[in-house]
Amino acid sequence: MKKLFLLFLFINIYLAAYNQVIKGTVYDKKTKTIIYSAAVYINGTFVGTLTDQNGSFKLDISKYPLMPLTISAIGYFSVTLNDISAVKPLLIYMDPKLFELDEVVVNAKSNNWERREDLTVFRNEFLGTTGNALSCKILNENEIKFKRSAENDTLKAFAAKPIFIENKALGYKITYYLDKFEYYRRSTSFFFKGNIIFQKDSTTEESKQQFFERKRKFAYLGSRMHFFRVLWINDLNSAGFTIKNSANETIGYDKIVYQTGSHEKYLKYVQGMGICYYTKQPTSFIVFIRDNVYFDANGYFDPSCISWEGEMARQRIADLLPFEYSVK
């Protein structure tokens, strides 16, 4: 009897660990009213759902138990939750974008020439300037509003509703919840943040699927996702990656990665970390914002901990792949 009990207990623990269905309710933080049709998802994947008329949701996160959960809704700042527990229902409160919505009104006075110019800047910095970017189309550009600073140096973009993008090169439909976009004309630098959920192109045409697969593989090889996936399994050299310091010396895996558990690894700060991909000199560079960067086997990394320069910095929305992607 004791053995049967232990076996039953083990099975239940196993199922709890690998069949994580989370439940919760989403509210307006200010009014405490429920938010209907909020998107609840794992950022950068196909995994997501919407809240019902009661503001409630249920989502299976078994494939990504250690990745953050994101909640987005029209007119609200996105919420990101770490260390999600499936034990008890989540209560999530969202802040409305009242300030941004007020600023958007200013844009209504801008002329058509200014708007066309602002849209060009936005497309180039948001989608990128690669070949894949040329095959991307923002389906609801009218939802994007702009505000220029008084000295005309800073351009801000706002979108109360999600931005819908069709990527005809990689075969994805993208929903992007933009939280912030700023472009600085004088320095030609920019910053944007938000959250993304993917949908596959529904076509069954074999020639199109083959085309998508070729383009996806080309986008993947040498990407940030590729780098972190092979870093996880300590296979940088075989994949064509080399990491070098500011003195152009090769840095080994043991010098830059430490592990705190079977599913937790961190990239450690190394000043002047450059990444070579089948080259002798670094073509991409990691700039550390924090000393340690969490990453996992899917290629996910904490984007708040680092920024990029060089080749990998050119990979914008048009070149992103969902974490479900695998090379065929």
Count the domains in the chain.
3
Q: What's the CA gap between 328 and 313, in Å, rounded? A: 25
Predicted model pTM:
0.86
* Residue 319, token pair as written in the block: 């070149």
Both 225 and 312 in one domain: the answer is yes
Both 24 and 76 in one domain: the answer is yes
The residue out of 51, 80, 96 marking a domain boundary is 96
Specify if 131 maps to a domain: yes
Q: What CATH number does the domain containing 57 carry?
A: 2.60.40.1120
Q: How far is CA 302 from the centre of its chain?
A: 9
The residue out of 96, 128, 160 marking a domain boundary is 96
The residue out of 200, 231, 263 marking a domain boundary is 200
Both 118 and 192 in one domain: the answer is yes
Both 82 and 105 in one domain: the answer is no
Q: What's the CA gap between 327 and 240, in Å, rounded? A: 15
26-52 as b/e: b if 16+ CB within 10 A: bbbeeeeebbeebbbbbbbbebbeebe
Specify if 215 maps to a domain: no
Nearest to 227 by CA among 313, 163, 142: 313
Q: What's the CA gap between 144 and 158, in Å, rounded? A: 6
Both 252 and 180 in one domain: the answer is no
Both 257 and 196 in one domain: the answer is no
Q: What's the CA gap between 146 and 181, in Å, rounded? A: 10
Both 192 and 111 in one domain: the answer is yes
Both 60 and 111 in one domain: the answer is no
pLDDT of res. 110: 54
Specify if 61 maps to a domain: yes
pLDDT of res. 17: 46
Both 11 and 37 in one domain: the answer is yes
* Residue 77, token pair as written in the block: 């700042």
Both 54 and 107 in one domain: the answer is no
- pLDDT (tens digit per residue) in 120-178: 999 999 999 999 999 999 999 999 999 998 888 899 999 989 999 999 999 999 999 99
Dihedral sign computed on CA atoms, order 22, 25, 28, 32: negative
pLDDT of res. 8: 40
Both 83 and 113 in one domain: the answer is no
Specify if 110 maps to a domain: yes
Specify if 126 maps to a domain: yes
CA-based radius of gyration for the chain: 22
Specify if 89 maps to a domain: yes
CA distances from 67 to 41, 51, 89, 264, 276 (A): 10, 20, 18, 11, 27
Specify if 213 maps to a domain: no
Specify if 181 maps to a domain: yes
Q: Report mean pLDDT in 10-residue bins for the chain, 328 residues.
A: 43 50 95 96 96 96 90 93 82 82 49 90 95 96 91 90 96 95 92 93 85 96 97 96 93 92 86 93 94 94 92 94 93
Q: Which domain holds residue 191?
A: 99-200
Both 104 and 195 in one domain: the answer is yes
- pLDDT (tens digit per residue) in 263-295: 789 999 888 899 999 999 999 999 999 999 999
Question: Are the CB atoms for 221 and 207 separated by under 8 Å?
Answer: no
